[in-house]
Amino acid sequence: MTTAKVFIDGEAGTTGLGIRERLTAFPGVELRSLSADRRKDPEARRAIMAEVDLAVLCLPDAAAKESAALAASLGAQAPKLVDASTAFRVDPDWVYGFPEMTPGQADLIRNAGRVSNPGCYPTGTIALLRPLVDAGIIPADYPISINATSGYSGGGKAMIEAHEATGGPAYEIYGLGLEHKHIPEIQLYSGLSRRPIFAPAVGHYRQGMLVSVPLHLDTLTGKPTGADLQKVLEDRYRGSALVQVLPPAPGGRLEPEDVNNTDLLELRVYANAATRQAILVARLDNLGKGASGAAVQSIALMLGLPHPGNTHG
């Protein structure tokens, strides 16, 4: 069995640690690392990239661009790249790393040299919207609003330290300048021509995410029922190991932590036939399918390795 060599540039961060831990489940992967005192040395990073088959960039945007340039400078020796930052998510020269997004996306990732890992909020949003836009039920220019709440681990080192040291706020809406960095990614890959309104929030719990999109059914093409929306989603994701379209949870409630430590993405349609209203809801672990788990899914495709399953930890 051929062993694939992988280097994680930025392995000490939350996403990098999650990827490293998951990759230990692959018998065909050999992880390469730099000592702590060499991790910011461009020449050391360039040299190790020349020795591996694939490099994962778990870095801030500017550093990710620098690292991608180092890899490109190797020419024929350049490794395949998976970038976990937001630097290349709408770059046409990079393949978007959401295998279930469209029927041919997994093949694009499998044959790609450079893959951009999706954001956590966009993963839930695009999974809900793209099939309905493709089916013509949601017009591309529909005024979409997205409400989403994540655990604090999705906010980076400073937010994690604030919550774990002081307790942090119980709940906080942010991005109220309506310029959140995930909006271009959401708009492009959902197939929307109108910029959506995106209202993210963070709760005082470590991980787990809910993304919800409210809809007035009579304003959609063909005035569909909730069952019609459900069927479109079921048809798109039938046979998927990680994306599950489920019936509404009983009791009219849904909490964000139930799929933590898995790489699952759950989708549900809640609809009221009398009021002709619906809410689309996605639930995922922001550290799983929303970050490290998604990256490992793309890595497996790019290296021709079987995915080890949907659980972690």
The per-residue pLDDT for 61 is 95
Q: How far apart are CA 67 and CA 49, in angstroms?
A: 10
Residue 65 DSSP SS3: helix
The pTM assigned to this predicted structure is 0.93
pLDDT tens readout for residues 135-181: 999 999 999 999 999 998 876 677 777 787 777 788 999 889 998 99
> Does the annotation count 58 as an active-site position?
no
The per-residue pLDDT for 35 is 86
Residue 131 DSSP SS3: helix
The per-residue pLDDT for 313 is 45
The per-residue pLDDT for 168 is 78
Task: State the helix-helix crossing angle for 120-134 and 183-190, rounded to 10 degrees.
Answer: 30
Beta bridge partners of 146: 198
Q: How far apart are CA 236 and CA 265, in angstroms?
A: 14
The answer for residues whose C-beta is within 8 angstroms of residue 281's C-beta and 6 or more apart is: 128, 210, 211, 212, 213, 254, 267, 268, 269, 270
The per-residue pLDDT for 182 is 93
Residue ranges for the chain with pLDDT beneath 70:
1, 155-156, 308-313
pLDDT tens readout for residues 286-305: 999 999 999 999 999 999 99
Q: Which of 23, 70, 71, 120 is catalytic?
A: 120
DSSP class per residue in 229-261: HHHHHHHHHTT-SSEEEEPPPGGG---S-TTTT
